[in-house]
Amino acid sequence: MNPIAEPNQINQWGVFVLRLGIGVVFLLHGISKRKFWAMQPSEQLPLRMLSILRLLSIAEPLGGAAMITGFLTWWASLGLAIIMGGAIQLKALKMHKKFTDPDGWGYDFILLIASIALMFIGSGPLTVERLF
């Protein structure tokens, strides 16, 4: 395939790869939060934070699956962007982490920007949405 002769096809695959990558990250991170359903509130993990983590254990895998399949991509991107905005706020303002810290909010920022980009770019032609 000649990328110069077929730039539209290359762009379509690029959007698919971006969607797939974001989807896998959120799917796996969300599934890893299932452990919070068995936990009880504590001083280190108050009820409010535990409730948020439980909600994220549902929202992140659903958003990730939507991204992977290309179903309701705009809404999934919006939801995931909001989640990442909250993660950045938590890390930067409450935990006082820096962008470049090993456990800082640089990774979260990349996912935020990628989710916003998909809101503007769209889901591309390789989606479940195209079947309807």
Q: What angle do CA 122, 76, 131 make, to 5 degrees?
A: 60
Q: What distance in Å separates the CA atoms of residue 110 and residue 100, rounded to the nearest whole number?
A: 12
pLDDT, tens digit, for every residue of 54-102?
999 999 999 999 999 999 999 999 999 999 999 999 999 999 999 999 8
| Residue 64 falls inside a structural domain | no
| Structural domain includes residue 29 | yes
pLDDT for position 127 = 84
In a domain, 58, yes or no: no
Mark out the alpha helices in the chain (DSSP H runs). Answer: 7-32, 47-69, 73-89, 106-121
Is residue 122 a part of any domain in this protein?
yes
Domains held by the chain: number: 1
pLDDT of the residue at 7: 58
Question: Model pTM?
Answer: 0.85
CB atoms within 10 A of CB 123: 24
Domain membership of residue 90 (yes or no) is: yes
CB atoms inside a 10 Å sphere around CB 71: 16
Q: Which domain holds residue 89?
A: 8-36+69-131
Residue 110 is assigned to a structural domain of this protein:
yes
Is residue 81 domain-resident?
yes
